[in-house]
Amino acid sequence: MGRITLENVQKSFGDVEVIPPLDLTIEDGEFVVFVGPSGCGKSTLLRLIAGLEDVSGGEIRIDGKPATDLPPAKRGLAMVFQSYALYPHMSVRKNIAFPMKMAKVPEDEQKRRIESAAHALNLTDYLDRRPGQLSGGQRQRVAIGRAIVREPAAFLFDEPLSNLDAALRVGMRLEISELHTRLATTMVYVTHDQVEAMTMADKIVVLRAGHIEQVGSPLELYRSPRNLFVAGFIGSPKMNLIDGPEAARRGAHTIGIRPEHIDVSTEEGVWHGTIGVAEHLGSDTFFHVHETGLAETVTIRADGEIGLHHGDRVYLTPHPDKIHRFDEGGLLIA
Amino acid sequence: MATQHSKAAARLMIAPAVIVLLLWMIVPLVLTLYFSTLRYNLLMPGGTPFVGMENYQYFFTDPAFTTALVNTLLLVGGVLLITIIGGTLLALLLDQPMFGQGIVRLLVIAPFFVMPTVSALVWKNMFMNPVNGLFAHLARLIGIQPFDFLAVAPLASIILIVAWQWLPFATLILLTAMQSLDSEQIEAAEMDGAGALSRFFYIVVPHLSRAATVVILIQTIFLLSIFAEILVTTAGGPGVASTNLTYLVYIQSLLQFDVGLGSAGGVVAIILANIVAIFLMRMIGKNLDA
Ligand SMILES: Nc1ncnc2c1ncn2[C@@H]1O[C@H](COP(=O)(O)OP(=O)(O)O)[C@@H](O)[C@H]1O
Ligand SMILES: [Mg+2]
């Protein structure tokens, strides 16, 4: 079981309020991702849940029981740190065994859990090495192994993949997702990378300056961002935001249209412009179109093998039902 | 630095320094070895005939030799024990955020800047003196017989004085090591259910082991040759109760004007230092790898 509720949780460091009072419920078995730009308070929020920071106000409940004043060890949560925080002088086996040793789990049970974690995480051949002799990805897996053997009510991850190279990150992303499917344990995952959030989450919590901007499933956030911030943050490449007469014509202060919702043609369309940079990814091509009179650049996604290049004059047509309209305050106009 | 050419150039560049250092070491060593084989007493002018190992024989059969050897080891061991344990505890204390941290840290380092002779004199006359010392006053205050430290427990008293001098060094090195401990490791241990004591023994102590090794090695080098503190406080006495090897060499070569015997003692001290060094490296040297 791992249902975590935050009620009016607030955190200040001295005079600086990092997390204004917020409410949030994390359901049992859910994969929740906190996403937001650097410094927005994601780690702080996670550490409040873990008990590594004391709340300045509000209540934290885990499975309905008050946990606000419980020390970290008593909350039944396991955390994977950005730096992995492995114990450098202990072998992988001892690292993984450490929480069980502290909990006085019987020897043979310890052994069984280590074996099964090592097997699941492909660490069997490395059990007797020190963390210093492992690659980044392997260290990451040891840190996860150390969390798994505690059989926690929920896992907390703080940007666990940010120290890995791109290829490894994709692999580990899958492994963590698979782990979640297999264990069906609550996971709270912090990242600043919206791709990680979109690919892994059941529920995304978008944070800005400690505020929750929107909570929802990846597709909900993609389809109906509640405000300009979420609209600009979720989705890659970013949504095109256009203001001025073109927006006013549609009764909005700003309109947003995603690159994949604009058709490109060499003959006719609503807007026109000149292709600046063309990014050929093979499967897709991204064009940065200039001189449209709408915004500095309009990004569009087109077919991978479309025969257009830098300097070509093109016509653009947005899908009318995919245009998001925002008012002066940046809120979505329903 | 990898090519043949750059290696050769590097050797050429460091050669002058190496040669000077080598001379600096080799000349006194060879002279000491040479003197130790001569009958060379300043009170007996005339020849300095070669006598082979005779000086060594005298030195080893001197009744004070065994005592001095044991005292040397006790002195080194005792001071190391106090400074490592005390230094770790003090470092732990100084690592806590507290009011006036800067001043307190400065004060803790202060004993290191006091010259050995001065600090030994202060301890002898102001603290340990059985009549006027602070400890005697305190003892009388609570109504017990003052304890004559330097007469009754001379070696222990000297260990105390020397440990007081070296405690700041150990504290300082261990404190820097403690501050370099990744706070996420401590937090991870906290999440893993380790209490304060477990965190100290499983995470902090292993992290400090390398710094402690450095402290032990450096202190051993200096502690093997403790001299000023003994000269100033007990002059090796009562009897030879607080005489170490260095002091024994001093007694024989300078008080008895026997250069040959003193040199032999010096050579024995060098050999002892090397034996201790080998043992130390065996025991704790692996902490310095990688
Ligand atoms: N211990 C602390 N003392 C003071 N300010 C802090 C502390 N920890 C974090 N902050 C501040 O809180 C804000 C949020 O930090 P953090 O939660 O680490 O952001 P994120 O993980 O989203 O990048 C930052 O502005 C940071 O400077
Ligand atoms: Mg962070």
Residue A201 has pLDDT above 90, yes or no: yes
Question: Could you give the CA distance from residue A233 to residue A250 in angstroms, rounded to a whole number?
Answer: 23
B71-95 tens-digit pLDDT: 999 999 999 999 999 999 999 888 8
Instruction: Answer whether A140's CB lies under 8 Å from A84's CB.
Output: yes
In Å, the largest CA–CA distance within chain A is: 75
Residue A78 has pLDDT above 90, yes or no: yes
Nearest partner of B172 among B241, B108, B98, B119, judged by Cα: B108
Radius of gyration of chain B from its Cα atoms, rounded to whole angstroms: 24
Nearest partner of A92 among A119, A120, A118, judged by Cα: A118
Say yes or no: CB of residue A43 within 6 Å of ligand 1. yes
Residue A122 has pLDDT above 60, yes or no: yes
Q: What is the 3-state secondary structure (H, E, C) of A198-225?
A: HHHCCEEEEEECCEEEEEECHHHHHHCC
| Higher pLDDT pick, B236 / A97 | A97
**CATH number, residue A225:** 3.40.50.300
Residues A277-288 have a mean pLDDT of 92
What residue of A is the nearest CA neighbor of B186?
Answer: A85
Q: Is residue A56 part of a domain?
A: yes
Is residue A154 domain-shared with residue A11, that is, in the same domain? yes
Whether B21 and chain A come into contact, CB under 8 Å, resolves to no
Is residue A170 domain-shared with residue A309, that is, in the same domain? no
Domain residue limits at A277: 237-326
Q: Is residue A334 part of a domain?
A: no
Is residue A224 domain-shared with residue A307, that is, in the same domain? no
Say yes or no: CB of residue A145 within 6 Å of ligand 1. no
Q: Is residue A293 part of a domain?
A: yes
Mutation target vs B (from A81, A130, A133; most B CBs, 10 A cutoff): A81
Tell me which H or E stretch contains B250. Answer: helix B245-250
**CATH number, residue A263:** 2.40.50.140
How many CB atoms lie under 10 A from the CB of residue A115? 13
**Domain final residue pick, A213, A231, A249:** A231
- CA angle in degrees (0–180, nearest 5) for A226-A229-A231: 60
Mutation target vs A (from B184, B192, B213; most A CBs, 10 A cutoff): B192
Q: Cβ–Cβ of A146/B184 closer than 8 Å?
A: no
Say yes or no: CB of residue A191 within 6 Å of ligand 1. no
Residues of chain B contacting A132 with CB distance shorter than 8 Å: 290
Is residue A182 domain-shared with residue A268, that is, in the same domain? no
Q: Is residue A212 part of a domain?
A: yes
Q: Number of structural domains, chain A?
A: 2
Is residue A242 domain-shared with residue A208, that is, in the same domain? no
User: For residue A299, what are its two tokens?
Assistant: 């990004």
Look up tokens 């209490």; give the residue: B195
**Domain final residue pick, A210, A231, A252:** A231
DSSP state of A132: G
Mutation target vs A (from B191, B203, B213; most A CBs, 10 A cutoff): B191
Whether A85 and chain B come into contact, CB under 8 Å, resolves to yes
Q: Is residue A160 part of a domain?
A: yes
**Domain final residue pick, A231, A261, A290:** A231
Percent of chain A at pLDDT exceeding 90: 75
Is residue A156 domain-shared with residue A291, that is, in the same domain? no
Look up tokens 């991702």; give the residue: A33
How many CB atoms lie under 10 A from the CB of residue A60? 22
Q: Cβ–Cβ of A52/B187 closer than 8 Å?
A: yes
Q: Is residue A33 part of a domain?
A: yes
- Looking at the complex, report in whole angstroms how far the Cα of residue B220 sits from the nearest Cα belonging to chain A: 25
B214-269 tens-digit pLDDT: 899 889 888 988 889 899 988 887 888 888 888 988 888 777 888 888 888 888 88
Question: Could you give the CA distance from residue B200 to residue B204 in angstroms, rounded to a whole number?
Answer: 5
What residue of A is the nearest CA neighbor of B198?
Answer: A102
Is residue A203 domain-shared with residue A248, that is, in the same domain? no
A210-219 tens-digit pLDDT: 999 999 999 9
Say yes or no: CB of residue A38 within 6 Å of ligand 1. yes
Residues A202-214 have a mean pLDDT of 93
Residue A290 exposed, middle or buried by CB count within 10 Å (0-12, 13-18, 19+): middle
Residues of chain A contacting B203 with CB distance shorter than 8 Å: 87
What does the pLDDT read at residue B65?
87
Of ligand 1's atoms, which has the minimum distance to the CA of residue A38?
A: 23
Is residue A222 domain-shared with residue A317, that is, in the same domain? no
Is residue A199 domain-shared with residue A287, that is, in the same domain? no
| Higher pLDDT pick, B44 / A76 | A76
A33-71 tens-digit pLDDT: 999 999 999 999 999 999 999 999 999 999 989 999 999
Look up tokens 């859910």; give the residue: A30
Report the nearest-CA residue for atom 20 of ligand 1. A39
The SS3 of residue A192 is coil
Residue B286 has pLDDT above 80, yes or no: no
What does the pLDDT read at residue B289?
66
Q: Is residue A333 part of a domain?
A: no
Calculate the alpha carbon distances from A288 to A9, A238, A282 in Å.
43, 12, 16
Domains plus CATH for chain B? Answer: 54-289 (1.10.3720.10)
Q: pTM for the complete prediction?
A: 0.81
Instruction: Answer whether B146's CB lies under 8 Å from B131's CB.
Output: yes
Exposure class string for A193-230: b at 16+ Cβ within 10 A, else e: bbebbbebbbbbbbbbebebbbbbebeebbeebbbbbb
Nearest partner of A154 among A246, A76, A262, A37, judged by Cα: A76
Span from the CA of B191 to the centroid of ligand 2 (angstroms): 18
Is residue A102 domain-shared with residue A40, that is, in the same domain? yes
Residue A13 has pLDDT above 80, yes or no: yes
Q: How far is CA A93 from the centre of its chain?
A: 30
Predicted confidence band of residue A327 (pLDDT cuts 50, 70, 90): very high
B19-68 tens-digit pLDDT: 999 999 899 999 989 988 888 887 777 778 888 888 888 888 888 888 99
Span from the CA of A40 to the centroid of ligand 1 (angstroms): 7
DSSP A252-283: -SEEEE-GGGEEEESS--SEEEEEEEEEE-SS
Pocket test for ligand 1, best of A18, A38, A55, A81 (most atoms within 8 A of CB): A18
Question: Could you give the CA distance from residue A43 to residue A192 in angstroms, rounded to a whole number?
Answer: 10
Question: Could you give the CA distance from residue A228 to residue A256 in angstroms, rounded to a whole number?
Answer: 8
Is residue A139 domain-shared with residue A264, that is, in the same domain? no
Is residue A160 domain-shared with residue A306, that is, in the same domain? no
What does the pLDDT read at residue B2?
67
Residue B1 has pLDDT above 80, yes or no: no
**A-B Cβ pairs (cutoff 8 Å, strict):** 58
Nearest by CB to residue A99, choosing from B182, B192, B290, is B192
